Amino acid sequence: MSSARLILALNAGSSSLKCALYEVGDGGVTEVGRSQAEVHGPTADAAAVSELLAWGAGLRPDATLAGVGHRVVHGGLAFGAPVRIDAEVLAALKALEPLAPLHQPQSLAAIHAVTQLRPDLEQIACFDTGFHRTQAEVVTRFGLPRALHDRGVRRYGFHGLSYAYIAERLRALDPGLAAGRVIVAHLGSGASLCAMADGRSADTTMGFSPLDGLVMSTRCGSLDPGVPLYLQAHDGLTHDQLQDLLYLSSGLVGVSGMTGDMRALLQSGDPAAAEAVELFVHRAGREAAALAGVLGGLDGVVFTAGIGEHSAQVRALICERLAWLGLELDPTANAKGGEARISTPQSRVAAWVMPTDEERVIAVQTLSRLS
């Protein structure tokens, strides 16, 4: 039998469970293959995980699965780095479910499923919030009483596994830019921006929960706190109704009244669809300008995730709003797609498109914690 060791990286979403299988070698991890399974709710995760474990075993029957790494959206105050999962860690992660009600339960369901199916396996939790631990204390604060901050009511930031990958990839492709002032735009159904200085998070648009910041597919983004107070007082909305409104019925789908799919909105001739796209782009441009101020200038922008990687039109509209900073888009390069620099050679601000790879970061972080 082969002595090869494997790591399975699981990335739980609301409707699917993505995974990638990696072989451990002297130079780190090498991807073996990718798959995903449909998830119809937390109770279905055991079947999905079973399917993916069987897929991995069939792909490399000669090797040993050494451990499983999980993307966990919220690490709270306690977890700033990957951690081996045990009963105490699980209890702490479950307590964070109210801070990420759409994401945290799915990750925990996948962890429980692996425990049920393969109790012999080591499991490692890798946190989206961990990348942002480099931020200055003032960046993490709300204007609320200190006692609330001290108990964890503060800004955390998310999409950290994606940002960690982009920071590493940018160092390989353009090390000079990676050492400078860069805004990474993770634009997907969930969307955020991260201001990086020398590859480290200086600020980001998401805060206490994945609701904050940009307009998203079904999430509202930054919102005057007076709005939910008003809806609670005058419309009698309950906690659950407010949660559904802000997480599931707002953003692009709420403004357009049609869909949260950016591709469909761009193809629609409906004025409400155009208004939803305009709001998405406006907020992205506004937040990017604010982050440029935090960085004291801007050397580059990187677009990633579903919309960022695949929508040349959205990239062009956002770059147009950043032209005052010195960003000059190359329309031909932008239209081609794929991993590439899309700004002109003379542009003072570089612009790149880079596919992200959260699963690879999960695998690398998992390897660092396996016994």
**Identical fold between 5-127 and 175-353:** yes
Task: Please report, as a single letter, which amino acid is at residue 234.
Answer: H
Looking at residue 2, its pLDDT comes to: 59
Q: Could you list the pLDDT tens digit for every one of the 371 residues in the chain?
A: 457 999 999 998 766 789 999 999 888 899 999 998 877 665 557 888 898 999 999 999 999 999 999 999 999 999 999 999 999 999 999 999 988 888 888 899 999 999 999 999 999 999 999 999 999 999 999 999 999 999 999 999 999 999 999 999 999 999 999 999 999 999 999 999 999 999 999 999 999 999 999 999 999 999 999 999 999 999 999 999 999 999 999 999 999 999 999 999 999 999 999 999 999 999 999 999 999 999 999 999 999 999 999 999 999 999 999 999 999 999 999 999 899 999 999 999 999 999 999 999 999 999 999 97
> Cα–Cα distance between 14 and 45 in angstroms, integer?
11
**How far is Cα 130 from Cα 223, in angstroms, rounded to an integer?**
24
Contact at 8 Å (CB) between 40 and 27? no
Q: How high is the pLDDT of residue 1? A: 47
Q: How far is CA 272 from CA 105, 259, 275, in A?
A: 33, 11, 5
pLDDT for 371 equals: 77
Nearest of 38, 14, 11 to residue 248 by alpha carbon: 14
pLDDT of residue 12: 86
pLDDT of residue 46: 83
Question: Which pLDDT belongs to residue 100?
Answer: 85
Would you list the domain boundaries of the chain? 5-127, 175-353
**Distant-in-sequence, close-in-space partners of 112: CB < 8 Å, separation ≥ 6:** 45, 46
What is the per-residue pLDDT for 27? Answer: 81
| 10: enclosing H helix or E strand | strand 5-12
- Select which of 45, 128, 174, 203 is catalytic: 128
CA triple 21-27-32, angle to 5 deg: 20
Topology of domain 5-127 in CATH is Nucleotidyltransferase; domain 5 (3.30.420)
Which residues, in sequence order, are CB contacts of 88 under 8 Å at separation 6+? none
Please state whether beta strands 16-25 and 83-84 pair in parallel, antiparallel, or not at all (unpaired): unpaired
Q: Which CATH number fits domain 175-353: 3.40.50.300, 3.30.360.10, 3.30.420.40, 3.40.50.720?
A: 3.30.420.40
| Nearest in space to 219 (alpha carbons), one of 101, 314, 130, 109 | 101
What is the number of residues in the chain? Answer: 371
> Burial letters for 21-37: b for 16+ Cβ neighbours within 10 Å, e otherwise?
bbbbeeeebeebeeebb
128 tagged catalytic: yes
Number of Cβ atoms within 10 Å of the Cβ of 125: 27
Q: What is the CA radius of gyration of the chain?
A: 21
Residue type, 48: A
